[in-house]
Amino acid sequence: MAETIQVTNPATGEVIKEIQADSKEEIKQKLENGHKFFKEWSNVNAHKRARLLQKWSQKVRQHKDELAELITKENGKPLKEAQGEVLYSCAYIDWFAEEAKRIYGRTIPTHMESKRLIVTKEPVGLVAAITPWNFPAAMMARKAAPALAAGCTFIVKPASETPLSGMRFIELAHEAGIPEDAVQYVNGRGSVVGDLFTSSEYVRKITFTGSTPVGKSLIRNSAETVKHVTMELGGHAPLIVAEDADIDLAVEQTISTKFRNSGQTCVCANRIIVHESIADEFADKLAEATNKLKTGNGFEEGTDIGPIINEQGFEKIKEHIEDAVEKGAEVAAGQEYDSDKEKGYFFVKPTVLKNVTPEMTIMHEETFGPVAPITSFQSIEEAVEIANSTPYGLAAYFFTNDYRTGTFLHENLKFGILGWNDGGPSAAHAPFGGMKESGLGREGGLEGIEPYLETKYLSIGGY
């Protein structure tokens, strides 16, 4: 009997669809198909690959409403955020369609008259991706598009919580004319598919977005066949508000970075570090703005905060809030829940915590939920020390109008993505990725296609 996967709506607990998991044999077959088709796809010229990607992006735009509804249904995020995610996905496809035409090699000035030295780039081969439930379309697009643009074939396992939008995206790629064996999906349990991907001799690259522990195990398992890896892992983003900052701007941007996708975003601000002279004013204003946010079903008009993806996520958020409160944090907004284990839905009202101190769990672990913990600092050096005291290094934000403070923070924060007076730095044309245990490699920007390419060096002698 084939295993089935129930996809549920996290806002209601209702089953949206049951899909069949691929068997091990089916997954192996698809890997073999992707490997075999690599030769043909990598020989399609770059301009044709670019045109096919452009057609895919057009198809996605034509189906924007359908795809956004699917995302809201299976992930729960507000419909307007889901629509934004569809367009964000297109931005990656459009960007990499253009990048396909800019995969350049080079010649190296020779050290001997009889020699010529040439460097060329070629696609790595079959790429296997594992994508998360928090941005089921965008995280898939930003892996599939550079892989296909580079001339790699691609296979993805979407998150079992949210497979439907990714599957529909890939069907649209086929409708746009991208051959079926060039871009495929499989469904199944993460550990089973992960093991098949990492142990397969056909797969030359693993790309993953998700938790740091799973990322580490994929890296370990990929070592056996020395595969390329790109890892977008956990984050624990600090957001620093300096003494001179524009407080209203900092509050507005904190709301947008902290509560995007109900706080279930790797680059969400997780530790809000405010100069002691303005900490109360900032907290009051943040609490006031937070109290205006509407929590509910993502399909309801005006919803800002959707459900938490599942019970495990909900329990972790609750634990973080309760641990902080027990250890002395003050609740400035939220700490209210609406959940039904039987039915299977879990909501957390956006929460602001004041007077948060280093011994609280929330200062060390990624909450992945709508909770804004505020702590204070005296000197900018201390703010940097607090911000960097984590094994993660994905995103960091800072608010200051003093160029010296801004420059100091730019140079001293150990994070791959920085937002200076900006809570939304992500863009298809900019590199996204983390330092330390937040990952390896970058997605998007000029950097985003390189991890899908091999460098080949040719030395011609006897000339």
Residues that bind ligand SIN (CB under 6 A): 134-135, 209, 232, 265-267, 426, 432
**β-strand pairing of 183-185 with 153-157:** parallel
CB of 426 to ligand SIN, least distance (A): 3
What are the strands, taking DSSP E only, across 137-281?
153-157, 183-185, 203-209, 228-232, 237-241, 269-275
* Closer to ligand SIN by Cβ: residue 174 or 429: 429
Q: Which is nearer to ligand SIN, 377 or 392 (CB)?
A: 392
Residue 368 CB, nearest distance to ligand SIN (Å)? 9
Task: Pick the closer one to ligand SIN by CB: 267 or 384.
Answer: 267
Residue 280 Cβ, how far from ligand SIN at the closest point, in Å?
Answer: 30
Report the nearest approach of ligand SIN to the CB of residue 385 (Å): 26
Nearest distance from C-beta of residue 227 to ligand SIN, angstroms: 21
Shortest CB 440 distance to ligand SIN, Å: 14
Q: Which of 81, 266, 268, 437 is catalytic?
A: 266
Active site residue 232: yes
Q: What is the DSSP letter of 294?
A: P
Any long-range contacts for 65-70 (C-beta under 8 Å, 24+ apart)? 66/168, 67/137, 67/165, 67/168, 67/169, 69/299, 70/164, 70/165, 70/168
Closer of 196 and 267 to ligand SIN (Cβ): 267
| Pick 134 or 297: Cβ nearer ligand SIN | 134
| Residue matched to tokens 């129930």 | 6
Residue number with the shortest CB distance to ligand SIN? Answer: 426
Instruction: Exactly one of 81, 85, 161, 232 is catalytic; name it.
Output: 232
Beta-bridge partner residues of 128: 155, 206
Burial class (CB in 10 A: 0-12, 13-18, 19+), 406: middle
266 counts as catalytic? yes
Q: Minimum CB separation from ligand SIN for residue 202, in Å?
A: 27
CB of 261 to ligand SIN, least distance (A): 7
Helix, strand, coil abundance in the chain, percent, nearest 5:
40, 25, 35
Give every CB contact of residue 286 below 8 A, 6+ residues apart in sequence.
Answer: 251, 254, 255, 272, 332, 333, 352, 372, 374
Residue among 259 and 432 whose Cβ is closer to ligand SIN: 432
Q: Give the C-alpha separation, 374 to 238, whole Å.
A: 10
State phi, psi for 376 to the nearest 5 degrees: -125, 165
DSSP letter, residue 102: G
Residue in 250, 262, 271 with CA at minimum distance from that of residue 293:
262
- Spatial contact of 345 and 10, defined as CB atoms under 8 Å apart: yes
Strands 330-333 and 269-275: unpaired
Specify the long-range contacts of residues 330-333, CB closer than 8 Å, at least 24 apart. Answer: 330/354, 330/355, 332/283, 332/284, 332/286, 332/287, 332/290, 332/374, 333/286, 333/287, 333/290, 333/291
CA angle 38, 191, 193 (to 5 degrees): 25
Give the position of tokens 């359908």.
66
Indicate the residue among 304 and 443 with the shorter CB distance to ligand SIN. 443
Q: Which of residues 267 and 305 has its CB atom nearest to ligand SIN in the complex?
A: 267
- E strand intervals along 137-212: 153-157, 183-185, 203-209
Tell me the pairing of strands 371-377 and 417-420: unpaired
SS3 of residue 90 by DSSP: helix
Q: Which residues are catalytic?
A: 232, 266
